[in-house]
């Protein structure tokens, strides 16, 4: 798996260069990028809109569908990287710090096999 | 920057373990995770909802605000990693392949300094 | 049901006055309002994030949950009305025109009991 | 304006019949409909993704663009009506009740000309 050898910084650089070559930094404000992220997340959701949650597990069985889903996930990740570039945020540290918070919020003993009901989180 | 030495696989493993410890794989269907992604993207947008695009560039100047934004971006990335885990997708390859498509769709010569108007993409 | 006697214009006026009294027209640009709509839609989704589609049908059985869902739906509608106010669009005509298009796109004979697979619409 | 004479119930009935004719009630679970709402809200956002908030005010000047925006707003409203049908919620009362809450949360004296900073609401 390429993910085993690819660093976050390498992907960030890929996106940075793509944006710079097109002189698109002017459009890549945090406000616009947050919209882009939400738009791509919605396009991803479209693939699961009318099917059951169990059926969505089998989305990967159809190669054409999986390829389309993969493209949408890539779009989401690209905009996440672009936003990190713009705000100069280290994503690895951000994820690690957030996982520590999440571990405190959802202790294994209490959260095992259950999610908190909405509204209580 | 930690992103320079952290691989995608390391972050994926962090998320995988967190989910497994809580026996949450049962909730982590692609359908549910795509909703989670969209929800977190919306929480990120909230920080930029009422401000101008130019003002959003300065969001990073306020440490408290930047910390809150950083948490939301981490959430988005965590769910992206969780979805990749569930669908067994290599994110680095997905991003690289998508960037090739994007480069063909937005050639530098035609796209420099301008986005295609909505509806034509 | 109050919906039987309430016109769209009455609800629009309610929202218009609320916004005007607070001098919030300055924030109510179409761009910002479209973000607000997406944010409220995401807050609505949160109530259904981790449950099955069948279980979501029973969301109305719990009065507290239904009240929370009702508030989020109201938020979505309020921003829809605010956007229509800002763009001076007649919502009833917009819905009627869209339903005619939808009827052409999804003829009863072909669409009965099935949705088009994503990507083909 | 047609909104002056059209009741919410009339539009709800239009949507209800459209769904019933296609035997689509089976897909119209609250979970799925909340996703649809978010997806349509995102499609609406696309029209404002790369432009400035001030520029977004002029979106209505271009008839073709306005027609496309109008269609997306209609989609958002249709799904809102479909969700109200499914959950048997009175939308007019929901909006009125929410506006009372909003008026308490944002008193005119304190909120005039300013939004609460994100995170404090």
Tell which of C118, C119, C121 to mutate to test the A interface (max A CBs under 10 Å). Answer: C118
Q: How far is CA A32 from CA B64, C33, C118, D43, in A?
A: 21, 14, 26, 14
At B116 the pLDDT is 66
Question: What global pTM score does this model have?
Answer: 0.95
At A116 the pLDDT is 66
Size of interface B-C (CB pairs under 8 A): 33
Chain C residues whose CB is inside 8 A of the D77 CB are 77, 80, 91, 94-95
Does residue C91 surpass a pLDDT of 70? yes
At D116 the pLDDT is 66
Chain A residues whose CB is inside 8 A of the C115 CB are 50
At C41 the pLDDT is 98
Count the neighbouring beta carbons within 10 Å of the beta carbon of residue D102: 17
At B115 the pLDDT is 79
Residue in B35, B41, B43 nearest the CB of C49: B35
pLDDT in tens, C31-63: 999 999 999 999 999 999 999 999 999 988 999
What does each of the 121 residues of chain D score in pLDDT, given as a tens digit? 899 999 999 999 999 999 999 999 999 999 999 999 999 999 999 999 999 999 999 988 999 999 999 999 999 999 999 999 999 999 999 999 999 999 999 999 999 998 764 344 4
Average pLDDT on A31-58 reads 97
Mean pLDDT taken over chain A: 94
Percentage of residues in chain C having pLDDT higher than 70 = 95
Q: State the 10-residue block means of pLDDT for chain B, 121 residues long.
A: 97 98 96 98 97 92 96 98 98 98 95 68 42
Count the neighbouring beta carbons within 10 Å of the beta carbon of residue C88: 9
Q: State the first-to-last Cα distance of chain A, in angstroms, to the nearest integer.
A: 35
* Shortest distance, CA C109 to any CA of chain D (angstroms): 8
What is the DSSP secondary structure assignment for residue C106, as one 8-state letter? S
Nearest C-alpha in A relative to C53: A52
Q: How far is CA D78 from CA A73, B92, D24, D36, in A?
A: 28, 39, 14, 10
């Amino acid at each position: 798996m390429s993910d085993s050898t690819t660093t976050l910084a390498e992907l960030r650089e890929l996106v940075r260069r793509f944006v710079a070559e097109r002189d698109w930094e002017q459009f890549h404000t945090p406000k616009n990028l947050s919209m882009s992220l939400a738009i791509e997340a919605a396009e991803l959701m479209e693939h699961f809109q009318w099917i059951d949650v169990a059926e969505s597990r089998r989305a990967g069985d159809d190669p054409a569908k999986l390829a389309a889903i993969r493209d949408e996930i890539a779009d989401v990740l690209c905009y996440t990287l672009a936003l990190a570039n713009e705000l100069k945020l280290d994503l690895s540290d951000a994820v690690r710090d957030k996982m520590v918070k999440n571990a405190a919020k959802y202790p294994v003993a209490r959260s095992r096999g259950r999610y908190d009901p909405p509204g209580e989180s």
